[in-house]
Amino acid sequence: KNRTATDETIKEGRLLTGDVGYMDDEGYVFITGRKKEVIVLSSGKNVYPEDVEKFYASISLIKEICITEREGQLHAVIVPDFEYAKKALIGNVSEDLKWRINEVSMRIPEYTRVQGITLYREPLPRTPLGKLRRFMIKDLAKAGSEAGEVRGEDKDLHEDEVGRRVAGTIKSLIKDEIRIMSSDNLELDLGFDSLKRIELASALETIFSISLPATFTSEVQTVGDVVARIKAYAEKGIEKQGARISWTDMLEKEPSMEDAKKIGFSFSRTEVAAAYIFLLMQKIIFKLFFRLDIKGAENIPAGGVFVIAPNHTSFLDGFVIASSVSFKTFKGLYFLGFRRYFTGGLKSWFARVSHVIPIDMETYLHKALQMSAYVLKNKKALCVFPEGGRSFDGSLMEFKKGIGILAVELNIPVVPAYIKGTFEAMPRGSKFIRPAKIEVLFGKPVSAFDMDMSLKPADTDEYRFFADELRKRVITLSENR
């Protein structure tokens, strides 16, 4: 007998079950959870994990979720719905999940927000009654998804001609010396991001002498998916293996006629007049209502090819950059914009006169890079937000490698820029604009030629190094304003 445990369980003749709940005005009792499952945060707040799980379970990309505690904060172990990802053409599951989780987090109390996630591709451990085994799942959060897995041999993959070549191509793109398996998830097991998927698709096109559709990178989630799709597309059989395609070759490819029309380098007099009126109105609005202050405008090249790379915290940022340059500069300046905001009727016309190139950058990232290169090769300038999306808390996020690919491969100058005040005026998720002073700082242009590549870490390529160094320059602008 355990006298201590008995005393804790039975008090004053009553059995304490450990259930947590409440009684309504009519005397009905509602069980909301277990006392031992309550998470006590470092702030002292008590959180019921099932309540938090209900918030995030509304995300279509989440198949299963378990909220645990990690270092005094809420941590989510998530099993993504890869079938949904395929149907929705989501290429980078973890990146997409991050944005969706942050969007939910903005609508719930701060102490219930998830501060970290672990992705797991197997079903979460449950009891025979279907309840989550939270003590086991907490260990998964600490160890990471299937860390230290012992890999067997996938004979079906490596004895198949297509499978062997696909596995060899994948192995050439990753640094770890591991045995590739059909069940390997490109992202969770092999660390493939959106750009690495593009490299894989390009290499496979060369090796198998086939042309893959633009949606290929978001159609496949596992190595087995890749093999199946290649077999479906390679109707003429497997040709002799060729050389792996480079980013230089990829950026040399011209966009299709349809995509080139979206860019538009020639405008009617009416469109030019409309652009001038829109820009003039923007300048007046930002000057009067936001007291727009522009510093370092002399660092913007007077003409020619260059990229402006600002931080991104608000839907207003693109308009602020457009309002910060002269009309002469604007005539040769183009912007990349998410297709859902700039397509259909009047929005398409507005995008054209505003020099916005509408594109789905997640599904068609390689096309976005090719269209960007096309703009720059035609002696135009480009505004690119290197973070890849708007920040949720106003802080500067990691710069994507795409800006480094454009800068290094095309050897073009990049103007770092820092926008202050737009987050206060209209942060992500806000439907209304609030008054706030806005300031824009333009730094001196920097090119890959200016950077000392000898300082590049051995495990970092020159594209990643350029993106990281550019981010440091934007941070410096934010500190010296």
- CA 172 to CA 174: how far, in whole Å? 6
What percentage of the chain exceeds 90 in pLDDT?
31
Confidence of residue 468 (pLDDT cuts 50, 70, 90): very high
290 with 433, same domain: the answer is yes
For residue 125, the domain's CATH number is 3.30.300.30
Reply yes or no on whether the pLDDT at 292 is more than 90.
yes
**Is 136 inside any structural domain?**
yes
What percentage of the chain exceeds 70 in pLDDT?
87
Going by C-beta distance under 8 Å and a sequence separation of 6 or more, which residues neighbour residue 343? 351, 358
When divided into structural domains, the chain yields a total of 3
pLDDT score for 249: 78
Tens digits of residue pLDDT in 451-465: 888 888 887 889 999
263 with 386, same domain: the answer is yes
Most confident of 37-41, 184-188, 327-331, 334-338: 327-331
- CA 372 to CA 125: how far, in whole Å? 46
Reply yes or no on whether the pLDDT at 258 is more than 50.
yes
- Kindly tell me the sign of the dihedral angle through the C-alpha atoms of 400, 381, 361, 310: positive
Residue from 355, 319, 323 nearest 336 by CA: 355
Final residue belonging to a domain, choices 188, 211, 245 = 245
199 with 321, same domain: the answer is no
**Is 8 inside any structural domain?**
no
For residue 166, the domain's CATH number is 1.10.1200.10
Tens digits of residue pLDDT in 95-143: 888 888 888 888 888 888 888 888 888 899 888 878 888 888 887 766 6
DSSP string, 211-259: ---TTHHHH--BHHHHHHHHHHH-TT------PPP-HHHHHHSPPPHHH
**Is 150 inside any structural domain?**
no
269 with 374, same domain: the answer is yes
DSSP string, 167-201: HHHHHHH-SS-----TT-BTTTTT---HHHHHHHH
138 with 218, same domain: the answer is no
What is the average per-residue pLDDT within 30-43? 69
Reply yes or no on whether the pLDDT at 290 is more than 60.
yes
* Bigger pLDDT: 15 vs 394: 394
351 with 470, same domain: the answer is yes
74 with 160, same domain: the answer is no
- CA 309 to CA 277: how far, in whole Å? 25
For residue 388, the domain's CATH number is 3.40.1130.10
CA angle 278, 284, 290 (to 5 degrees): 120
Structural domain including 455 reads 257-479
pLDDT score for 2: 67
User: Rg of the Cα trace of the chain?
Assistant: 26
350 with 420, same domain: the answer is yes
Tens digits of residue pLDDT in 390-406: 888 889 999 988 899 99
- Inter-residue contact 238 to 208 (CB < 8 Å): yes
198 with 115, same domain: the answer is no
Tens digits of residue pLDDT in 167-177: 888 888 876 66
Tens digits of residue pLDDT in 197-224: 888 888 888 788 777 887 888 888 888 8
What average pLDDT does the chain have?
83
Reply yes or no on whether the pLDDT at 345 is more than 80.
no
What is the average per-residue pLDDT within 3-17? 68
197 with 227, same domain: the answer is yes
Written as six digits, the tokens of 215 are 């949606």
Confidence of residue 146 (pLDDT cuts 50, 70, 90): very low
Q: Is the pTM of this model over 0.85?
A: no
267 with 404, same domain: the answer is yes
Residue from 307, 332, 270 nearest 446 by CA: 307
